[in-house]
Amino acid sequence: MSKIKNITYAKAINEAMFQSMKLDKNVVTMGQLIDYQSGVFGTTSGLVEKFGSKRVRDFPVAESLMTSAAIGATVAGLRVVLVHIRIDFLLYSLDAITNWLSLWRFKSDNRSNIPLVIRAIVGKSWGQGPQHSKSFHSWFANLPGLKVAMPATAFDAKGLLLESIFSEDPSIIIEHRSLFNLKDRVPIEPYRVKYGEAIIRKKGTN
């Protein structure tokens, strides 16, 4: 049985990134500020030092271009984890997501797929304004062909991210900033949390 440790939500995501990139050389990450030492609230810290700038690619503030580039790289054979540090501005990518990413498998008659993972972050601290506090999970959940998750614990954050990275379907994982410092018991070794399989947190009575 895998050893367990008590770590934060952000650290669990960081572990999933390290482990997936170690397991598969085709796993890369793209996004704004991902190669900074702070590493997008700690979730991408240390990746560029370990895997280099070819697999950890910083991007300018151009959300639509960033998403389209990630789609193209995934079609070419990479497994891209794309970090949108603000889900509010992910909306600049709606055409790429709704008309291409989610429909690609159907358009290709199931002969091609885009296993792109988008990490989209909600919220910040005081003073950021209303354009940094929205959540669009219900919008994206209505798109056929796209998996959507909102992990509530560090255990789910790591397991769902690993599941999404090694899936053959496109996924959007929505992370709320207020959860990043919350701790949970998380296995050290890689593991996967399946979509659509509920966890019983507490049994009730009839």
Which residues are marked as active site?
132
Q: Is 40:121 a contact under the CB 8 Å cutoff?
A: yes
Q: Which residues pair with 171 in a beta bridge?
A: 117, 147
Task: Output the DSSP codes for 15-78.
Answer: HHHHHHHHH-TTEEEEETTTTSSSTTTTTSTTHHHHH-TTTEEE--S-HHHHHHHHHHHHHTT-
Polymer length in residues for the chain: 206
Q: Is 175:122 a contact under the CB 8 Å cutoff?
A: yes
Q: Is 101:148 a contact under the CB 8 Å cutoff?
A: no
DSSP 101: I
Per-residue tokens: 141: 């959940």
